[in-house]
Each structure stands twice: as C-alpha cells, then as structure tokens.
Structure 1
C-alpha cells in the first residue's frame, strides 16, 4: 500500500537510499559518470534500436538521479560519447580527460567489452560493461577494474536450457556461428545440457559462416534430426535469415536464439515474426522485459513509458543501471577515487536494487552481477510495441521460500570453481 501513495520522485529516492552501506560517509561533491553509447548510422537498423534505447536510458538516469543529487548539493552529470568498435577507446579517453568522468559505462559487443576492459585496467578507471555477454570477459580476459551489469553468455545459456528442458524440449539442434564467440557459446551450452539436465541431448549441430545464409544441407539435417528445439548461436541478422529459410523449408519446431543486444528489442521481435510468422513467434531470453509487473519494475517501466512513450527495453535498463551503480558507489562510499569505487562495488555488503525483485551483488570471483533473467514470448498479432512480447518465464525462481538468494542466483553462470578469472 505504501508504494501506491508515493510520488515517482519519492520512489526514486527510496530506491536509491534503501541500500546497505559500507560506512557512513559524506557523498562525493562532484559525480560525473561517463557513458559510451552505440553510434548507429542507419536509423532503420537493429543497431539503431539498441542505440536509441541506450541513449534514453542514460538520459532518464541523469534526470532522475539529479533529483537525489540536488538534495546534497552534488554536482551530478552523465556525460556521453558515441562510438563503435575500436573507437570506444578514444571515446573513453575523452570522457575522463580533465577529470570530467570518474568512471565509464559502455560495451555493446565482445570487442568493445575487451577494449574497454583493457583500457580500464591500464588507466585504473572503474568500468561497467553494459551489454557484452562474452564469457571470456569474465574468465581469461577478466580485469579487476571491470564489472558486468550485462548478463554473461553462461547465464543466458543456463537459463535457456532450464526453461526449455523443463518444458519438455529435450532434443536440441544447435546452429553455431563460425566465430570464436560462437564456438564458446556452443561449448558452454553443451555443458549446460550435459551437466545440469538429465535426459537432454544434442541431436544435431551445424557451423555456419557469420553473415551467410543457412544452407540446404543444414535445413535437411534439422528436418531429419528429431529435434524438439533449434538454437541459433548466430548474430541477430543471421537469426532472421535462418528463421525465414527454415519456415520456407516447412520446418515446424520451436526456434530460439542467443540473446544478442539487437535480438532483445521490439524491432527484432517484429522482424522475427515477419520473416517467419510461425517459427519467428517463439520465445526469447532477455535481460529485461517491459511487461515485468512486479518488484518495483512496474514503476520503472511506467516512468520510462511516460518519459519516452516507448517500452523500456533491455539496452535502456542496462544503461540506467550502469549509471545507478556508479552513483550509489559515489553516494555511499563518499568518494569517486578509483580504489574507493572499486572497493564499494566489490564489497559483499554492497547490494544493488535493479528492480528485479531481489538485492543483487557482484560476484567476487569475476565481477558478474547476480540477477534473474526473463523469457519473452513474441506475440504473433500484437500491434502495440509493449504487447509484442509477453513475459512467460523467469529464472532463477527467487520467490521460493527457504532459499538463500545468493546461492539461488549463482545457479546461473559460472561458479568460482569453474572460473578462469584471476584478479
């Protein structure tokens, strides 16, 4: 009842200040957070949908946290730059030049994640990875200055295995992109199926070139494999191409794909069902779902819809949360000095409310944010963007009584004993 009586401003303030703190400290007086946003040259592309959502998430975070900062006479700002690929390093340099930003949030693919992680370690600047899922960033390429709001590939794949196997989809055909990242995803999905789910098995496997069409031989193998589900470990555009080809070939199976940033947009949902009205209206893993209507997510989704007239997609959520964790580190740690910020983010007593129903924290062995993930069903006929996807699954089941939240959240992704990360 209390929540319904609070204004949106009060909700924001309560959401920030209801966090455990390391020690009572005066908030830092200047808090400037750098965010590197994707640059999209084609406004009709899937990349443009991700870029727009990220920009709006950053703008909303700045507007909302300025309300809190003003209470403490804090000079707060979110400073942004747009860059892709190798250009993110120059963008990061420009954002921290002359003390403009004390920390950087960014990375929307594996290359950007690696470059910014290396840069942060070399510069000693705290970095939050917003959307790069590549497991190597949490393993052999990990850095002590990097933290991951982005769910890892291992978390996504463990969730997909959990959802589909429990729903009776035990026979898997896996289509893997001929890339290092695709090979890593394939190996990790195999571990999820073999080690965690009795009775699940791979009945077929194909490696396809990134950017290429799925061949007739692969289509034939899928048709004759006896699979219950096909998983596309390929880039977003390749997933659309494969869906269209499979539907044209008369394949009638559940099809899902690896949740790259572009696939977690309503634009992709629309293109998926357009490419394949039946196969393309399946279920997709997401880091955030605009129809999530619990845990305070209702208010966050509603505020975003009121502000932008669009549903809050995963890129907007991730960018907002990247700003939020740095804001809280400066607020509660009382300093924007790198050591103080890094200590706050990594402390086991630091808990972050990311509106997923449970206090989350960064794992000490790889700095991955523990968090639930969601399964969205693409609606075949919806015209309203928000209703184009519908929340149908959540993992882990954090609401089950008598369980340790951290232990339950650590059921997804790599445990310390499995990690190759060495800080």
Structure 2
C-alpha cells in the first residue's frame, strides 16, 4: 500500500514538474488601418480595442494555469498605419508560434504566408471577410471573429421568424458597407427572402442638421417594406435613418436591430460576470473585437490545459478535434469548424438597450449542429487549405 502511494506521489510530482516548465507566450499583433471619417464622434474607438479582451483572457488563463504549473505571457506589438507588417510579424513569430491578429484581411494573408508562419497558429480576431473563410483561407489561421455571413444569417433568420418578407436596403459607399450589403443579399437568398428596393447613401451634407428633411425624401421611393436594412459599418449615417424614414418601419443591420459577436446588453448564461470583469479591467464596455480576442486567448488556454502542451501543432489538432469546447458565455459550447477554422458561436441580436434574441433561432435545423446554419457551411465554403492540411 505504501509503495502504491509512493508511486502515485512520485507520478504526481513528475507531472507537476513537467507542467511547471510549461511557459506559454501569446503575441498580440495589431496592424493599424485608416478609419473613414464619420459625422459624429459620439462613439470614439478605444485605443485598447481588442487588446483589452486579450488581456482579460490572459488573466483567465493565468487563474487556471496557476494551479497547473502553467505560466502565461502576453506580448504586444502595434504596426503603424501604412507600414509593412512583415518585419513585426517575423519578430513576433521568432518569439512564439501563437499569434492573435488584429489586422485587415490583406495583412492577415501576408502574415499567414510568411515562411516563419508555417507551423504557427494564428487567430483572426477582427477581420470578418468572407474570403478568409472561403477560397482565401489559410490552414494556420483560426477565426474567433464571426464572419459577415454569420451576422447577416442571424438577421435573416429573425426576418423569417417575424415574417418580414418585404425588405429594403440602404448601403453606404465604403468598402465595408458594400461587403455587408453583399453578405446580406446572400443571406436573404439563403433563407428564401429578397429585396424589394435598394439605394446607395451618397450624401455629403451634415445629417446632424438635415436628417429630418433629407431622410424622409430619400426613403420615400423605397415603396412598401416590412423592415429597412442599413449597411453602414462605420456607423456614420445610419443613426440618422432611425425615426426619420418616410414609412414608420423597423431598421436593422448596422443600426437598429444589430447582429454582433458581443454587446454590453448580453447578460444571460453568466455573461454578466464576464462583462463586469472586463469593465473592471478596461474601464469600458466589452466590444465584439474584445470578445473575439478574449475567445482566442481562452481557446489557447483551454487547449493547453487539456493537452499539457504548448506547441502550435498539438494545440491546433486539439482545437479542431471533437473534444474541444469553449465556455463562451453564450449558452452553448463554442467549437471550431474543421473545414475553415471558424469558431462556431451564437450571434446575439441586440439593440442599444436590450438583447432581443440569439441566433440560431428556433426552427432553423442542421444535421450537425444548429450553429452551422450561421455562416459558411462545409459544402459552400470553398476552403481547400484545411482539407489539404489534414
């Protein structure tokens, strides 16, 4: 009996010693981009947007890792606007093979294609571009930020549920607006809906003074519709559409009813606890970019805990495997899609003051999981890199 206890104690000591040597470094690499000017400065962009979420995620990992002998470090680099990010990326990759990226799609692809990134594990925490989950996917990139299609599919499901069959769209001229509008059209078609009318917002007048006069005239010829969709991802003009339309109809999309990865009004499923911890740490509300960065860091932490490993290859295999689940405070376990690396997750449908619903909505079924009714499913993804990497 004493020998058995001694052997078990020795094994525990060996395991603890091995775990004690496990030092995990995660690098947060931000590539700054130009932001389009907006009519209002009511919503300033926090300087630590995204990064604050990664820091809270690191604190969560450290809390668990402390008991397992795991040590976590978060290093940070910001690449100034218009500067080539490759040198900074190479320096980060020389330090660790675990990178959380806050970068536009073009920069993300450039970094993922570096020879130094071969075998690394990169997390896309900000770019919603569909192509990154489709033909331009990279096997070394996982996505914790929901795609545009996940957001627009969530809205389309809500329209179907409410029987809002007649829809109109106003889209801005920015590239992000056009991308959102394109994703919205695809989602409407996917769920058997369509647009009755579309218009492009090309005003250069100051809507802070003219909205009550200009918006009714602009929307008068949209005809009859059940809901008006606004594609204004910079949140420039959309706020002036609400309550100024010719017909009194609900507004959804970039304003009004919005589908987001996260919002301060999400309080169920233990989310209030995450919200309060974030607010205490950052001094502000948690934004979608913060949540995606938090999820990336926490996914790493969960994989390290379960595998007792810190190398990218082992962690990637576990993250894409059947055993991985992340408790994401959204009512369902979050998992990664094996065909394009997208993190499955419910999408809250919110307005400024409350959570309205959470997609996938009741009645939208899938043979694998209802979460796969949101975004690119395996047959439509067109991502070959993940298949080749198996």
TM-score, normalisation: structure 2: 0.78
Per-residue CA shift, 1:5-44, capped at 9, x if unaligned?
xxxxxxxxxxxxxxxxxxxx965611000112465999x9
Are the structure 2 counterparts of residues 298 and 157 from structure 1 closer, same or farther at C-alpha, using a change threshold of 3 Å? same
Asked if the contact 2:93–2:116 (Cα under 8 Å) also holds between the matched residues in 1, the reply is no
More displaced, 336-345 or 212-221?
212-221
CA distance in 1, matches of 2:164, 2:81: 37
For 1:149, the equivalent position in structure 2 comes to 144
Q: In the TM superposition, what are the counterparts of 1:26-41 in structure 2 within 5 Å?
A: 27=19, 29-37=22-30
Q: Output the CA distance in 2 between the equivalents of 1:52 and 1:208.
A: 31
- Could you say which residue in structure 2 is the equivalent of 1:393? 357
Matches within 5 A, 1:182-197: 182-197=177-192
- The match for 1:95 is 92
How big is the shift at 1:218?
A: 9.3
Compare CA radii of gyration and give the structure with the larger one.
2
How many angstroms does 1:174 deviate by?
2.0
Matched with 1:4 is none
SS for the counterpart of 1:76 is: strand
> Where do 5+ consecutive residues of structure 1 fail to align?
1-24, 259-279, 379-388
Q: Tell me by how many angstroms 1:189 deviates.
A: 2.3
Q: Aligned residue for 2:59?
A: 63
Aligned to 2:133: 138
Contact 2:217/2:246 (<8 A) preserved: no
- Rounded Cα–Cα distance in structure 2 between residues aligned with 1:80 and 1:363: 28
* CA contact 2:326–2:333 (8 Å) conserved in 1: yes
Task: Decide which of 71, 74, 84 is 1:75's aligned counterpart.
Answer: 71
**In structure 2, C-alpha distance between the alignment counterparts of 1:74 and 1:256, rounded to whole Å:** 45
Q: For 2:196, what is the secondary structure of its paired residue?
A: strand
How far off is 1:106 after superposition?
1.9
1:417 aligns with 2:390: no
Moved more, 206-215 or 77-86: 206-215
CA distance in 2, matches of 1:396, 1:410: 9
Alignment of 1:14-413 (within 5 A): 27=19, 29-37=22-30, 49-83=45-79, 87=83, 88-97=85-94, 99=95, 101-107=96-102, 109-119=104-114, 122-178=117-173, 182-197=177-192, 200-207=193-200, 220=217, 222-224=219-221, 225-237=223-235, 240-244=236-240, 250=246, 252-258=248-254, 282-378=256-352, 389-397=353-361, 406-413=368-375
Summarize the Cα distance change of 1:335–1:246 in structure 2 as closer, same or farther, 3 Å threshold.
closer
CA-CA distance at 1:415 after TM superposition: 1.1
**Residues 84 and 235 (structure 1), Cα distance of their counterparts in 2 relative to 1, 3 Å cut:** farther
- 1:332-375, CA deviations, whole angstroms, 9 ceiling, x for partnerless residues? 23333232122122212222221212112111111111110011
Q: How many residues align?
A: 357
RMSD: 3.6
**Paired residue secondary structure (1:318):** helix
> Following TM superposition, by how much is the alpha carbon of 1:208 offset from its aligned partner in structure 2, in angstroms?
5.1
List alignment gaps of at least 5 residues for structure 2: 1-16, 386-390
How far apart, CA to CA, are the structure 1 residues paired with 2:311 and 2:338? 20
For the 8 Å contact 1:57–1:316, the answer to whether it is kept is: yes
User: C-alpha distance in 2, partners of 1:113/1:231?
Assistant: 30
